[in-house]
Amino acid sequence: MAATSLASRLLFSAALWSAIVLTIAGFALSSYYQSLVERGFDQRLHVYLKALVGDLANTADIDQVDFKVGEPRFELPLSGWYWQIGRRDGGNENVSRSSPSLFDRNLPFLIDSDPDKDEAATRDAYVTGPDNEQLRQVERVIQIGDARYIVAVAAESGEITAETSAFNSDLAITFFLLGLGLVATAGLQVAFGLRPLKTISQQIADIRAGRREKIEGRVPTEIASLGRELNDLMDSNREMVARARTQAGNLAHALKTPLSVIVNEANATADPMGAKVAEQAAIMRHQIDHHLDRARVSAGIALVGAVTEVRPALEALVRAMNKVHQDRDLVIDLSCESVSFRGEKQDFEEMVGNLLDNACKWAEGRVSVAASKVPDPGGGGAARMRVVVDDDGPGLTVQQREAAVRRGRRLDESKPGSGLGLAIVADLSALYGGSFVLGASPSGGLRAELHLPAAL
């Protein structure tokens, strides 16, 4: 059972143990019923045995006895029903009289196969008859005067076999239906018993999707501590994220003020040293912003439940780009499926906003952005999404695409910017467990493709 669930394990164990118990019980009942049938059959044979013994006891001359047992089958040749009386003298047996059904054949004497048993005890066993059929035989040694006789009655055991086989068939059908009923009952018990776990699983999925903040409702005693620990963990996680954001904001404010003073002082002088200081201060500011953003995103990713609706965010970005580049008469096409980004809105807008801004700067007249759900490339079944931004600009060579995502690397100084945009997109997407690649657009320009986690 690969990737087994608790339900499948419980059902499998219930089915296995039901099969074992019912099988053992079936063999025990079958054996007990067969012994009952044999005892009932033996009692019938003992009735005929007593009748023979009674007829034999009424006379001293066995040859003069007219044995009557009241069963017509003893008169039919090789009918499967036989009786036989033998004389036992000094340990030797000689057949004196037998039923007409035996013709000139004889039954085996059971006393010979069990000589250690008390001679006066009644014996019963299965033997092979004169027509090679299986017989059930009962036998008894009696003393009449000075003579000892062995009286045996045998009948074909087919009745025992037929009755036992019919019982076994009915028993197998009954136990099979009983087993199905037990497994079905176990399935209902498992479904009822594991329902709280399914409820908690759904609540956890809702927390990840941002539809709730904690596990709520009544939780069974056995897993109540798990629910409390999960709630405490999420509360602690939110507190740590809040502290990290506060500290990042404090650091940003603490550094930006001295940097602003340095830039102002550097700009106040016209010598090359002042220009160099201003340039390096600007680089420091970009680096601080970049790393603070990374710290903020890392903290935000640890916060469970952040979900962003993609379509409203893209529509807002398209409207912003139309305003920023309104003097260029650009056409921005938007195509978006119903999908949500599993992360914060600010991060999504920063990633896609950088891609859209870059595409609008280089496009000749048309930019397109499309968002859709895609299969998990790792095959794990996780929800994934893709955002593709195309432009009809000059595009980039393979070497230029590799250089474009390097932090602070600008391929063309004629366009405004710091050179951090695509590098930020690459870093943010990697922090979310996604990917970012540049390629050739079908319209001849550059294609930026962003893969990110999607909310369920």
Q: 60-157 sits in which CATH class?
A: alpha beta
Residue 397 carries which DSSP code?
-
Beta bridge partners of 333: 368
The DSSP call for residue 433 is T
Q: Which amino acid is at 373?
A: K
Instruction: Pick from 138-152, 190-204, 286-300 the range whose average pLDDT is largest.
Output: 138-152
Cα atoms in the 13 Å half-sphere on the side-chain side of 348: 27
Structure tokens at 62: 């066995």
Shortest CA distance to 330 belongs to which of 360, 362, 370? 360
pLDDT at 193: 80
pLDDT band at 20 (very low <50, low <70, confident <90, very high): very high
* pLDDT value of residue 346: 85
- Backbone φ and ψ for 334, nearest 5 degrees, come out as -125, 130
Summarize the confidence of residues 434-453 as an average pLDDT.
91
Q: State both tokens at 80.
A: 């499967």
pLDDT reported for residue 163: 92
Whether 374 shows a pLDDT value over 70: the answer reads: yes
Instruction: Read off the DSSP letter of residue 454.
Output: B
Asked whether the CA dihedral 170, 176, 177, 179 is positive or negative, the reply is positive
Domain 60-157 identical in fold to domain 306-453: no
Q: How far is Cα of residue 109 from the mean position of the Cα atoms in its chain?
A: 64
pLDDT above 90 (res 368): yes
Determine what percent of the chain is predicted with pLDDT higher than 90: 26
* pLDDT for the residue 89: 72
Structure tokens at 333: 């096409």
Sheet holding 331-336, edge to edge: 331-336, 366-374, 384-391, 446-453, 435-440
**pLDDT tier for residue 293 given thresholds of 50, 70 and 90:** low
Distance CA 146, CA 88 (A): 11
C-beta separation of 142 from 53 below 8 A: yes
Q: Give per-residue pLDDT as tens, 144-186.
A: 877 888 889 999 998 899 999 999 999 999 999 999 999 899 8
For the chain, which residues make up each domain, given as ranges?
Answer: 60-157, 221-299, 306-453
Rounded Cα distance, 451 and 8, in Å: 35
Residues 149 and 97: beta-carbon distance below 8 Å = no
Fold of 306-453: Heat Shock Protein 90 (3.30.565)
Lowest mean pLDDT across 46-50, 71-75, 261-265, 405-409: 405-409
Q: Is 376 a residue whose pLDDT tops 90?
A: no
Q: What is the pLDDT of residue 104?
A: 81
pLDDT (mean) for 255-268: 75
The CB density around residue 58, as the number of other CB atoms within 10 Å, is 10
Q: CB of 9 within 8 A of CB of 17?
A: no
What is residue 414's predicted lDDT score, i.e. its pLDDT? 42
Q: Is 261 exposed, middle or buried (0-12, 13-18, 19+ CB in 10 A)?
A: exposed
